[in-house]
Structure 1
């Protein structure tokens, strides 16, 4: 469970960092990364409950 949570947090952090660094113009990539991290954490939480 810890590994999947770390991967989800990592994706969320990557999305936030990407959005912060790139700013305007790369919002789509940041949103995709953030949503991927959120869904990954949600799915792993449901599956491994």
Structure 2
């Protein structure tokens, strides 16, 4: 499917960009007050990830 290290590097960069974008989006929601209790959200997300 993927051949060479350059392709894996591109996949890694895209994944990093997606994660960074999600983090910035989440911080933006917290700062604008859309998410009132960020601690609760973070705890729920960590629990969801650890269950997988």
Structure 1 or 2: larger helix share? 1
Query: Which protein has the larger Cα radius of gyration, Structure 1 or Structure 2?
Result: 2
Q: TM-score, normalised by structure 1?
A: 0.50
